[in-house]
Chains A and B, each alone.
Chain A
Amino acid sequence: MMPHLDDQTLSDLLDDALDAPARSTAEQHLASCDACASRVQRLRTVVAQAAALPRTMPTPAGEWQSIRARIGSGGSAVLHAPWWTRRGALLAAGLALVIASSGLTLLFVSGGRDVAMQPTSPAVTPAALTPRLAALEHEYATVTRDLERELAERKHTLSPETIAAVERSLHTIETAIAEARDALARDPGSETLARLLVAGHDQKVELLRHATRLATQS
């Protein structure tokens, strides 16, 4: 007797996500196993109930008024944008990022990193730190990929000077990120280096977000 089908197989079967041989095997099993047939039917019921849920829910009182207040009097949203999203401010922010990132780079070069940034958490082993960082870097990669794609689509709305400033800042930040990553490869247990790497990613996300917002409003 073939063992019962696992839930992943049953779930994939519902979604037509099994290849033909696996599907055939599963269907043959279901035809002769009441327990699995019952389980897949219960899963199917859950899925059907989910698809039948109401499409809408009542909105809170006053929601439109709050939105209306936030979008302003109907003019361009640029008029109501925070100061840091405006063109001149971006140049200043870009410059600040260059300086800040250069500062990070200098920390590596000078070997002063342990003085500059004290870890606030207990030390960990490289084995514990590495997978968390890898997961975190994956998150950043997802965010920056989306922002970069969005910025690329709208880049033409920005002035050449703004684009150049953004690109210079990005280059500096990416250099700092690469250096932090290299240093971590040599010293994988360093929480200080891990925090520097994360700080670099934060700066990149913030810069891309501001540049994208500017491009959207131009």
Chain B
Amino acid sequence: MSLTGSIVRGPSPAVADESAELARRAQHGDVAAFERLYRAHAGHVRALCIRLCADGQRAEEFAQDAWVRVWERLSTWRGEAAFSTWLHRLTVNVVLESFRAERRRLARVTLAGDEDDADAAIPAPEPGDALDLERAIARLPRGARTVFVLHDVEGYRHSEIATMTGLAEGTLRAQLCRARRLLMEMLDR
């Protein structure tokens, strides 16, 4: 048995049923139903985006992109998974795709230069700078933050995160350990 649990936390059955019905109506072009879906789930999409990217402005862009993609791809949701599960997975993909594209651009620029990555931009906490958990998560290096948010906040399993991120399970376990260690250190200050 896992001591931390690893089940993605979802909405209540009643909310899930209502979302499924709204999603089916939205599949037929019902924008009012789509707006109700948005109202029901936008807060979680926002939280997911902001925790993954640690940037309010970008989180806003990611959330909008995710909802537009939901609209475009609603026809592919067949009700096998809960709508919220499908929505959150799609949102994670939107953010991770952007991260991958950014890494590719960065890699092209730095192909012959010094090793650098988005993690390097994360400022180190000042000595004595006590942080709450949200702020501490935002200060994690991107790779560690992504795995931590998906595993410890959202409840995805290692195997699911490996599929989403393309990381080997050993690598993501190392990232998760790094995130927890850094958070522990930041919160202990």
Instruction: Please measure, in the bound complex, the distance between the C-alpha atom of A76 and the C-alpha atom of B50, giving whole angstroms.
Output: 29
List CB contacts (< 8 Å) of B108-140 with chain A. Answer: 108, 110-113, 115, 133-134, 137
Residue numbers in A under 8 Å from B111 (CB-CB): 121, 124, 129, 132-133, 136, 191, 194-195, 198
Instruction: Please measure, in the bound complex, the distance between the C-alpha atom of A56 and the C-alpha atom of B43, giving whole angstroms.
Output: 4
The answer to whether A132 and B29 have CB atoms under 8 Å apart is no
With A53-B153, A216-B73 known as contacts, the answer to whether A14 contacts B35 (CB < 8 A) is: no
With A13-B3, A119-B112, A132-B111 known as contacts, the answer to whether A74 contacts B174 (CB < 8 A) is: no
The answer to whether B103 and A122 have CB atoms under 8 Å apart is no
> How big is the A interface, by class?
35 or more
Is the C-beta of A139 less than 8 angstroms from some C-beta in chain B?
yes
Binary B-proximity of A110-151 (CB < 8 A = 1, otherwise 0) = 000000000101111000110011011011111101100000
With A13-B3, A15-B2, A46-B187 known as contacts, the answer to whether A55 contacts B31 (CB < 8 A) is: no
Residue numbers in B under 8 Å from A154 (CB-CB): 76
The answer to whether B63 and A74 have CB atoms under 8 Å apart is no
Query: Interface residues of B: mostly helix, strand, loop or mixed?
Result: helix
Instruction: Please measure, in the bound complex, the distance between the C-alpha atom of A60 and the C-alpha atom of B50, giving whole angstroms.
Output: 12
The answer to whether A15 and B38 have CB atoms under 8 Å apart is no
Is the C-beta of A171 less than 8 angstroms from some C-beta in chain B?
no
The answer to whether A76 and B46 have CB atoms under 8 Å apart is no
Instruction: Please measure, in the bound complex, the distance between the C-alpha atom of A42 and the C-alpha atom of B113, giving whole angstroms.
Output: 40
Name the segment of A62-70, A88-96, A158-166 touching the other chain: A62-70
The answer to whether B100 and A139 have CB atoms under 8 Å apart is yes
Name the segment of A4-12, A100-108, A179-187 touching the other chain: A4-12
Is the C-beta of A28 less than 8 angstroms from some C-beta in chain B?
no
Instruction: Please measure, in the bound complex, the distance between the C-alpha atom of A36 and the C-alpha atom of B30, giving whole angstroms.
Output: 57
Closest A residue, CB atoms, query B107 = A136
List CB contacts (< 8 Å) of B40-99 with chain A. Answer: 42-44, 46-47, 50, 60, 63-64, 67-68, 71-73, 75-76, 93, 97
With A14-B3, A74-B29 known as contacts, the answer to whether A59 contacts B46 (CB < 8 A) is: yes
B184 partner, pick from A16, A46, A135, beta carbons under 8 A:
A46
CB A198 to nearest CB in B, in angstroms, measures 6
Tally inter-chain residue pairs, CB-CB below 8 A. Answer: 166
Is the C-beta of B22 less than 8 angstroms from some C-beta in chain A?
no
Residue numbers in B under 8 Å from A145 (CB-CB): 166
Instruction: Please measure, in the bound complex, the distance between the C-alpha atom of A154 and the C-alpha atom of B133, giving whole angstroms.
Output: 42
Is the C-beta of B189 less than 8 angstroms from some C-beta in chain A?
no
Instruction: Please measure, in the bound complex, the distance between the C-alpha atom of A8 and the C-alpha atom of B20, giving whole angstroms.
Output: 40
Closest A residue, CB atoms, query B50 = A57
Is the C-beta of A152 less than 8 angstroms from some C-beta in chain B?
no
Is the C-beta of A50 less than 8 angstroms from some C-beta in chain B?
yes
Is the C-beta of B158 less than 8 angstroms from some C-beta in chain A?
yes
Closest A residue, CB atoms, query B113 = A121
The answer to whether B46 and A129 have CB atoms under 8 Å apart is no
Is the C-beta of B14 less than 8 angstroms from some C-beta in chain A?
no
Closest B residue, CB atoms, query A9 = B177
CB B120 to nearest CB in A, in angstroms, measures 15
Chosen A-B contacts, 6 in total, with CB atoms closer than 8 Å, are A8-B174, A14-B4, A15-B176, A47-B4, A55-B44, A129-B111
| Chain A contact residues, CB within 8 Å of chain B | 7-8, 10-17, 42-44, 46-47, 49-51, 53-60, 63-64, 66-68, 70-71, 73-77, 119, 121-124, 128-129, 132-133, 135-136, 138-143, 145-146, 154, 191, 194-195, 198, 202, 213, 216-217
Ranked nearest first, the 9 interchain pairs of A and B with the lowest CB-CB distance are: A56-B43, A142-B166, A121-B112, A11-B177, A50-B152, A16-B2, A74-B31, A57-B47, A124-B112
